[in-house]
């Protein structure tokens, strides 16, 4: 039976993260900004607390990230009529455009990786992703 080399995998994933960060940098985004904006793109609008929960970060981290995205005009804020202490955050048209640029850049990276790997390697990585996914219950 083959043995999974955890530290080797971690180093490879870190190298992949650096590649992703570089691609996003050319799109004018950092990884946390992209993650937050993708969630806003998916859900339409979220409070800072909801965003923190979905990103698995603290509310303070989410708040700082939202402040940054507001300053860059990638997001806008709307009143929360149920709770006056919070507000909703949603993507602006500039934010939506930036997501499109980032996704197109990431597709180029994905295509390059897909060409470099065998079908078997891709299936193994998909299986690993499925195993590690929060939805799988294996965590």
| CATH class of the domain defined by 26-110 | mainly alpha
Q: Whole-angstrom Cα distance, residue 48 to residue 59?
A: 7
pLDDT tens series, the chain, 139 aa? 888 888 998 999 999 999 999 999 998 999 999 999 999 999 999 999 999 999 999 999 999 999 999 999 999 999 878 887 889 999 999 999 999 999 999 999 999 999 999 999 999 999 999 998 876 555 4
pTM: 0.84
Tokens of 79: 């009143």
Residue 16 CA: distances (Å) to CA of 3, 19, 32, 106, 139:
21, 5, 15, 12, 21
Q: Where are the domains of the chain?
A: 26-110
Instruction: With residue 75 as reference, give the H or E element that holds it.
Output: strand 75-79
| CB of 78 closer than 8 Å to CB of 88 | yes
């Amino acid at each position: 039976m083959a043995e999974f080399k955890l530290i080797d995998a971690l180093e490879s994933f870190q190298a992949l993260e650096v590649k992703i960060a570089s691609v996003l940098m050319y799109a004018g985004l950092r990884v946390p900004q992209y993650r937050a904006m993708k969630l806003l793109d998916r859900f339409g609008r979220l409070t800072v607390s909801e965003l923190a929960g979905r990103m698995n970060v603290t509310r303070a981290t989410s708040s700082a990230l939202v402040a940054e995205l507001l300053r860059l005009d990638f997001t806008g804020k709307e009143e929360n009529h149920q709770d006056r202490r919070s507000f909703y955050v949603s993507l602006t048209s500039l934010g939506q455009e930036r997501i499109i640029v980032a996704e197109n850049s990431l597709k180029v990276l994905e295509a390059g990786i897909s060409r470099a790997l065998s079908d078997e390697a891709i299936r193994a990585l998909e299986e690993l992703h499925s195993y590690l996914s929060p939805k799988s219950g294996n965590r």
